[in-house]
Amino acid sequence: MRLNKFLSSIGFCSRRQADKYIESGKIYIDSAVATLGTELENKQKVYFEKKYIGQIEDLDSKKRVVLAVNKPRGIVCTSSDKDRAQNIVDFINYPLRIYPVGRLDKDSEGLLLMTNDGSLVNAIMKAKNHHEKEYIVEVNKKIDEIFLKNMASGVYIEELKVKTRKCRTERIAEKSFRIILTQGLNRQIRRMCETLGFRVLSLKRVRIVNITLGKLKTGEYRKLSKTELDALDSLIGE
């Protein structure tokens, strides 16, 4: 099995991100630095930097796990962080090896899915699939219909040289609004608001496809029900 496929299948990251990690020398097979295109053999152990990830036989024995997590502010979703903030995997400390589906930036909170199912990660993360993610956002000044219309129509982000997809917006308070996106650019909502002259004070994700945050308390998690999983698999084409 190709190394990047293994990393994706075990739920560590997408194949594209796996290739980036491999190119940067962060992935090891046993004690050797891995290279692009490496074929992983049985019994070989894979590490991210010095942290054990797994081996092929783990794929045969693992039980599918999908959690809904209410991520607090200050927790990161990546394995390494320049501020050395605690990452979500260590924070949850789940007994099985699981990884986040996508990310929420350090200053954001709310719903995050975590799983050991790489195919689920890939299906939800593919931008072409247009899966909905819903957020509640508070900004630093009053919002009006012009702001909401501009956000919904798509905003050109100079830093990324891209215009965001059309989306849905709804005002819910003087300085708060709901936004439903079908893409996940890096710090997208914050950058959209900044482009229009607003600064985000708080950002909470409350829904991913059919999975909602509900009454889940900050820092807590729950397993998805069979009904939720069946509906999610159906919606994402799994």
Residues with a known catalytic role: 105
Question: For residues 55 and 226, what is the distance between their CA atoms, to the nearest angstrom?
Answer: 28
Q: 137: which strand partners?
A: 177, 203
Can you list the alpha helix ranges (DSSP code H) found in 14-56? Answer: 15-23
Instruction: Return the closest-CA partner of residue 94 out of 120, 69, 121.
Output: 69
Question: For residues 83 and 218, what is the distance between their CA atoms, to the nearest angstrom?
Answer: 22
Instruction: Return the closest-CA partner of residue 172 out of 199, 134, 209.
Output: 134
* CA angle centred on 27, ends 6 and 126, rounded to 5°: 50
